[in-house]
Amino acid sequence: MSEWWRGGVIYQVYPRSFCDSDGDGVGDLPGIVSRLDYLADLGVDGVWVSPFFKSPMRDFGYDISDYCDVDPTFGTLADFDALLAGAHEHDLKLVIDQVYSHTSDQHPWFKESRSSRDNPKADWYVWADARPDGGPPNNWISLFGGQAWSWDSRRRQYYMHNFLSEQPDLNFHNPAVREAILNVARFWLARGVDGFRLDVANFYFCDPQLRSNPPKSEHGGFARPYWHQRHLHDRSQPENLDFMSELRSEVDRHGELMTVAEIGSDSYIARSIEYTEPGRLHTAYNFMLLENGPLTAALIRDALESWTSETAWPSWSFSNHDVLRSRTRWGGEDAGDAFAQLLMGLLLCLRGTIFIYQGEELGLPQADVPFERLQDPEGIRFWPDSLGRDGCRTPIPWQGDQPNAGFSATEPWLPVDRRHHALAVDRQESDPVSTLAHTRRFVAFRKAHPALRLGSITFIDAPEPILAFRREDKDSGEMLLCLFNLGSAEQRFTLPTGTWTDCDYGMPGRVESGDAILPPWGGLVVRG
């Protein structure tokens, strides 16, 4: 069977903010169904839907209280089945989030586990006695600030949580836990999903000896305590890789599906390769191009050239629900549509599987969410140093002249940025030079060229801010030269000796007397 995901384009839906079908201010599964025509028109191969499972919503769905049911906020299991069927009718694959590292503290498993030290699920979570001085067992830090341990007065022990205290970590050293998680996977595989996105996939196991992490040797004035440690013992344990293989075997029994890991690690590329070598997961993405900046040719080249494995397959994204939108993060508050289109064109020329976050196809900037409207517990905790993740999670603008940009008939859970009205879908649909129109063209261009979808990538030396690379597919014999100007001034690049044909890529670049002329934020693809 065809490896549909290899080199494919997958669109991430954050359901709370995609489309509200019932007017309660929160997006839902029927809302996604109502927009399947839109997703199909983008030309993407599949859709990844962020968590929609039962949850107290302390972390907006990443704190799950029932892995095998839909939260009423989003609909019902019947609504999910309708979404799955509708996606397949539109020739779209459907990939769903799976959050295995931790549950909600309202999950029945945790309620039973915390009830005593000798119940059947007593060892399903990471519990530890206090030190003689009453403190936690080690120095591990939560990503959301403070200790990664909370005291439970019923068990008179600490439990571990890499994130919120309401998100206790499962104990994957317990075979019963691993089997329970595999049963969750089997539940959704039996319903017919096309794959899983695995949240914090390298966080499942921790050191069974609970050894403290050493400090980082450098002293960089890190903004958060978490980054002061070398995370040797609270994540990326060798046992984690064995479970990836076990999960992959289970997935492979159900056909040509995909598994994509989210990897959080200081060793961005090396860790991603480790998780996607043969027999493990199909692919993985990391935060190298989601967190770092500024945007330079060196940054992109370093990320892609660091992926040295011949057998592991990469994935890339510039934005998602956890980071500043790339238009603002790399371009600043004044970045224009040309910059947004440059980013989309560049992303869709990279080697790997491509993930487009909802709103990127519209060129949305990071939304301005005032403090009093913040919802993200991370943003509230670290304000004013960080406004958290709410600014990239605001509703999609569908109709520019409607209240709430047509997302909802009532005030949505997060406000719609006033700038987003002008970028609404209905405003861009009829504009042939809009970012939406360019995105559709770029996706179609990628699908039409095997060198872009499946070919190798070789970088060519060029002065900043020019990024130059070849994409070549041996089976078809196609060779493309991709050129991008990551700067605000026109650039001229002398093409290698040979005959080059402009591929009409849709960006403002041209060939002139053997040179590529690249306008500000322009790009060009030529065929050799």
pLDDT in tens for each of the 528 residues of the chain? 479 999 999 999 999 999 999 999 999 999 999 999 999 999 999 999 999 999 999 999 999 999 999 999 999 999 999 999 999 999 999 999 999 999 999 999 999 999 999 999 999 999 999 999 999 999 999 999 899 999 999 999 999 999 999 999 999 999 999 999 999 999 999 999 999 999 999 999 999 999 999 999 766 667 788 999 999 999 999 999 999 999 999 999 999 999 999 999 989 999 999 999 999 999 999 999 999 999 999 999 999 999 999 999 999 999 999 999 999 999 999 999 999 999 999 999 999 999 999 999 999 999 999 999 999 888 888 787 776 799 999 999 999 999 999 999 999 999 999 999 999 999 999 999 999 999 999 999 999 999 999 999 999 999 999 999 999 999 999 999 999 999 999 999 999 988 899 998 989 999 998 999 999 999 999 998
* Amino acid occupying residue 32: I
**DSSP H helical ranges for 398-469:** 418-421, 425-429, 435-448, 450-454
- Residue 262 falls in the annotated catalytic set: yes
Signed CA dihedral, 283, 287, 290, 293: sign only: negative
In the set 79, 152, 166, 199, the catalytic residue is: 199
Q: Which two tokens stand for residue 482?
A: 């991709």
Nearest to 469 by CA among 301, 258, 306, 224: 301
Note whether 413 and 60 are within 8 A (CB): no
With b for 16 or more beta-carbon neighbours within 10 A and e for fewer, the 492-504 pattern comes to ebebeeeebeebe
Note whether 454 and 473 are within 8 A (CB): yes
Nearest to 73 by CA among 15, 18, 33: 15
- Residue 24 falls in the annotated catalytic set: no
Q: Per DSSP, what are the bridge partners of residue 259?
A: 196
Examine residue 238 and say whether the peptide bond preceding it is cis (omega within 30 degrees of 0). no
Note whether 74 and 83 are within 8 A (CB): no
For domain 9-101+174-444, which CATH number applies: 3.40.50.1000, 1.10.150.120, 3.20.20.70, 3.20.20.80?
3.20.20.80
Note whether 148 and 140 are within 8 A (CB): yes
What's the CA angle centered on 211, arms 206 and 217, to 5 degrees? 105
Q: Per DSSP, what are the bridge partners of residue 158?
A: 128, 151
Strand order in the sheet with 515-518: 491-494, 515-518, 510-512
Rounded distance between C-alpha atoms, residue 525 and residue 508, angstroms: 11
With b for 16 or more beta-carbon neighbours within 10 A and e for fewer, the 169-197 pattern comes to bbbbbbeebbebbbebbeebbeeebbbbb
CATH 2.60.40.1180 fits 456-527, yes or no: yes
Rounded distance between C-alpha atoms, residue 40 and residue 240, angstroms: 36
Rounded distance between C-alpha atoms, residue 421 and residue 216, angstroms: 45
Element (H, E) at 79: helix 77-89
* Angstrom distances, CA of residue 499 to CA of 45, 299, 382, 470, 496: 33, 29, 55, 14, 9
Residue 357, exposed/middle/buried by CB under 10 A (0-12, 13-18, 19+)? Answer: buried
In the set 166, 262, 274, 360, the catalytic residue is: 262
Rounded distance between C-alpha atoms, residue 132 and residue 136, angstroms: 9
Domain ranges of the chain: 9-101+174-444, 456-527
